[in-house]
Amino acid sequence: MRPAPRRGVILPLAAVLLVLVFAFLAFSIDVGYVAMTKGELQNAADAAALAGAAELSDGPAAAVREAQSIAAENEANRAAVEVPEADVTLGFWDIEARTFDAAAIAPNAVKVITRRNDQGLLFGPVIGTETFNSRTEAIAAVHPRDICFVVDLSGSMNDDTEVAWATDLLNDTFRAAGYPSIGTELAEDLFEDLGFGEYPGRLEHVGGGLVPANRYAYANLTKDDGPLANAAVPLRYRILPTDGEALRKLKCYSALIDYQLRPLMPGVTPPADSLLHYAYWEKYLDYMLEGVRVGTPPPPPPPRPPSTGGGGGGTSTPPPPSPPPPPPRPTVGWLEEAFPHDLLNERPTIAGSSPVESLKAYVAARFAPPRAAAERLAGLDSTRAALALARTAAAGPGDPPGTPRQGSTMQSEWLPPSQDGDRITGMNNPNSWTFPGASSGPVRALRNKLGFLTYAQFLQDFGRDRSPAFGNHENANPALFGKVPLSLASPYARLHRETVAGREFSFPPRTQPMHALRRGLIAGLDAVDELNGSGRAEVADWVSVVTFDGLGPYHTPEVAFELSADYAGAMEAVSKLQAVGDVGATTALDPAVLLAQAHLAPVSEGGRGRWFARKVIVIVSDGIPNAWTTEESEVAAYRATLPAEDEAEFDLPGATWLNAPLMHAHSWRSEGQTIPIGMGLGADHDYADRMARMARTADAAGSSARTSGNPAMYEEELRRIFEDYLRPRPTLVK
C-alpha cells in the first residue's frame, strides 16, 4: 500500500528551524558582545587600579583621582568608562593571606570596579532578553622592596676637592657650562669645614726665608754652618758638626714644626708641637719635601801597586798597617726606651761635654714636659729672634749646596734621610686614571711648599682610615691613634650642620664627590620614605647600605646599615660616610655586590630580606673596579654559557676585577634588579652602561643612570635618579 503524500510538511519544519537558527545566532552574537564588553571593562579596571596604586604615596585623594582619570581613557561598548568615587576603594592587600581589607588605615592597594548596566542586546529581544548588565573589578598592590645601596668609599671619592690638582681642573672643565669657579667653591667649602680660614691660605717655602727657596732648602738648613747651627739656637734645634743625619732631621723638623708650621697655620690640628706630635708632623714634612742628593762622592781609593819580583828570589810590597780600632762608644742603653727614633747609631756630641752628658741634655730638652703658655711663648720669641739672626748664614765659597756636613763636602747623602715614601707627587696625584687630562705639573710645583693648601691635600690623601705616623702596612688599623683630623676617628674631627630634605644632619668636612653622595643618598632615602607614606613597616620598602673600598686586613666591604624600614636611621648612617686614603687599590666592587646580594636574601637563606619582597641593588660609584675576590675560572665558566650578545659585554679574559661584577649583575636578574649609577667627573660610564645592560636595567639607548659630572648638579641629579628608579611599581594581584 502506497504511503500518503506529505506535501507542505517541509515549510513548517523550515520555519521551526529558522527560529532555532535565529535563536542560536542571537545567542552567539550577543554572548560575544557581552564578553567583549566585559573584557573592555576589565582592561579599564586593571589600568585604573594600577594607576591608582602608583599614586598611593601622594595620598588617598590623588590615588582615587588618578584611577578615575585612567578609567575614563578606556572605552567599553564604544563609550568612555565612568567610575564613580564609590567604586574606587583603598585598602590593604595581605600578601600571605591574599585578602583585601578595605578598612585598613595604611593602604597599599587599590580596588576598582567598572560597570555597564542596561546595555541593549542585538538579537536578544527575539528570545525575550533585551538588555544585560556587566561588572568587573581589579586589585593592584604595591609590592614592598628590599633595597640595598652599595656605596663607593674609595680614595677617588675625595678627588674633586684635592686642591693640589683638581680645583683648577674643575674650573676649566665647567667654565663653558657657566661654572667657572666650581672647583674653587668646593675648595672654599672644605677650608671652612676644616677651620682653615680663607682659601687658599698662605704658602711658605720650607725654611721660611732662612735659606734660599729652592730644592736644597732642607739641606742648607741642616748643614754644619747653616742657620740652625747658630749658637743662639736652643740646643734641641741646634745642628752640631758631629750630628748624624737622623739627628739633624729630628732637630730641623722640630724647628720647622714649632717655628714655621705653628705660626703659618694657626689653630691647626693636631697642634703643631714637636714635643707632642712630632711623628705626625714628620710625616707631613716628609710628604712635602723634595728629596735631593748633596755632597760630592769621595774619590775611589788609589789602586794598590802591583806585586813585584817572582821566582822566589824577589820581594813584594808589604801590606799597609791596619788602622787603629775606633774608640769605644759610650754606654747609653737608657736611651733605648726614652728615645722614639732610631738615632742610637748616630749619637751626637756637644763641644765641652761628654757624649753621655750631651745626650742627656738633648733628651731632657727634647722631651721636656709642656710648659705654661706664657713661658712657652717667651721661649718661642727668643728662638725666633735667634733664627732671625741666623738668616745671614750662607754656604761657604765654593761649597756645594747643603755642605759641609760633619766637617766635609765629600759626603754623598740623600736628604732628608729615611724619608717616607708617601709624597704629594704620589698617592694618585693627579688621578690620571679617571682624569686622563690632568697634569702632574701643579703637584710638582707644590713640593717644599707648606701651608693649609698642601695640608688639606695631605688630609685627603690619608683619608678616614690612615694614621700617618705608622707604616702603610698597619696604619689603616682602626685601633691605631693619630688619624688625620679629616677623619671622624680623630679626636680633632670637626662636624657641621646642614639641612637635607627638611631634616638636619651633622656632617664631616665636605670632600667631594663624597659629600654630594651623602646628601644625594639622604635625599633618595627621603624619597623612599615619602613614597611609602605611613604604611605598615612589614609591607613597606626596606633599605640597607653596604660600603666598599679596598681589600686587606683592615679593609673589606661591610654592611653599614642593616635592612629595615628605619629610613631615619639609614639617613643618619649615610651622613657619616667617608672615603679612605689614596693608598693601594680601593675599589673592591666584586665582593661588595656579593655582600649586598647575600644581605638581601631571605632569612631562610641566611640573609635579612623578606621572601615576598622584590630585591633592588643600587650601586653608586665614581671610579673603576680594581680589587676582587671571585676566581677567574668561575667567570670564564659562566661566560661560556652566555649568548654572544651578553658575552660581548665582558672585558678581556683575566680582567676579573671588571668581569666579576658584570657576571653578578647578569646572574642575579631572576632574583632582582641591579642599578649602577656613575657619579663624578671621573666615573666610568661605559662600564656602568655594560653592567646595566647585563642587569636589564639600561634605558632604551642602552645607557645606565648617571650624573653629568658637574659637582654643582650632583645632589639634584642623584635625587632625580633615585626618585625615578625607586618609585613603587604596583602589580595586579586580583
Q: What is the pLDDT of residue 118?
A: 65
Q: Using CA of residue 416, residue 419, residue 421, residue 423, what is the dihedral sign?
A: negative
Nearest one of 145, 133, 140, 186 to 163, comparing CA atoms:
186
Average pLDDT value for residue range 192-200 = 98
Instruction: Specify the residue for cell string 722640630.
Output: 254
Q: What is the pLDDT of residue 318?
A: 55
Angle at 342 between CA 339 and CA 344, to 5 degrees: 80
Q: What is the pLDDT of residue 306?
A: 63
Average pLDDT value for residue range 239-258 = 97
- Cβ pair 76, 41 in contact under 8 A: yes
What percentage of residues in the chain have a pLDDT greater than 90? 57
Q: Using CA of residue 51, residue 57, residue 62, residue 63, what is the dihedral sign?
A: positive
pTM summary value: 0.79
Q: What is the pLDDT of residue 121?
A: 67
Q: What is the pLDDT of residue 364?
A: 45
Does position 393 have pLDDT exceeding 70, yes or no?
A: no
Q: Give CA–CA dist 505/518, Å, rounded.
A: 11
Considering only 63-77, 189-203, 393-407, which range has the smallest mean pLDDT?
393-407
CATH topology for the 146-159+494-727 domain: Rossmann fold (3.40.50)
Cis peptide before 728 (omega within 30 of 0): no
Q: Give CA–CA dist 235/233, Å, rounded.
A: 6
Q: What is the pLDDT of residue 591?
A: 98
Q: What are phi and psi of 306, to 5 degrees?
A: -70, 155
Q: What is the pLDDT of residue 345?
A: 34
Q: What is the pLDDT of residue 341?
A: 35
What pLDDT digit, counting tens, does each position of 293-338 carry? 998 877 777 777 665 544 444 444 555 556 555 544 433 322 223 3
Q: How many CB atoms lie within 10 A of CB 311?
A: 5
Q: What is the pLDDT of residue 99?
A: 85
What pLDDT digit, counting tens, does each position of 652-692 carry? 999 999 999 999 999 999 999 999 999 887 788 999 999 99
Average pLDDT value for residue range 419-443 = 92
Q: Of 37-41, 132-136, 579-583, 715-719, which has the strongest mean pLDDT? A: 579-583
Q: What are phi and psi of 240, to 5 degrees?
A: -110, 150
Considering only 380-384, 427-431, 551-555, which range has the smallest mean pLDDT?
380-384
Q: What is the pLDDT of residue 574?
A: 98
Max Cα-Cα span within the chain: 174
Average pLDDT, the chain: 85
Q: Give CA–CA dist 270/152, Å, rounded.
A: 28
Q: Give CA–CA dist 513/453, Å, rounded.
A: 19
Q: Give CA–CA dist 631/615, Å, rounded.
A: 25
Angle at 460 between CA 197 and CA 468, to 5 degrees: 110
Q: What is the pLDDT of residue 353?
A: 42
Residues 6+ away with beta carbon under 8 Å from 249: 222, 416, 417, 418
How many Cα neighbours within 13 Å face the side chain of 14? 4
Domain map (residue ranges) of the chain: 10-142, 146-159+494-727, 196-296+358-364+376-462
Q: What is the pLDDT of residue 329?
A: 40
Instruction: Specify the residue for cell string 686614603.
Output: 581
Does position 592 have pLDDT exceeding 60, yes or no?
A: yes
Cα-Cα-Cα-Cα torsion 713, 719, 722, 727, nearest 10 degrees, comes to -140
Q: What is the pLDDT of residue 42?
A: 86
Give me the long-range contacts of 126-130 (CB less than 8 A, separation at least 24). Answer: 126/22, 126/23, 126/26, 127/23, 127/26, 127/27, 129/30
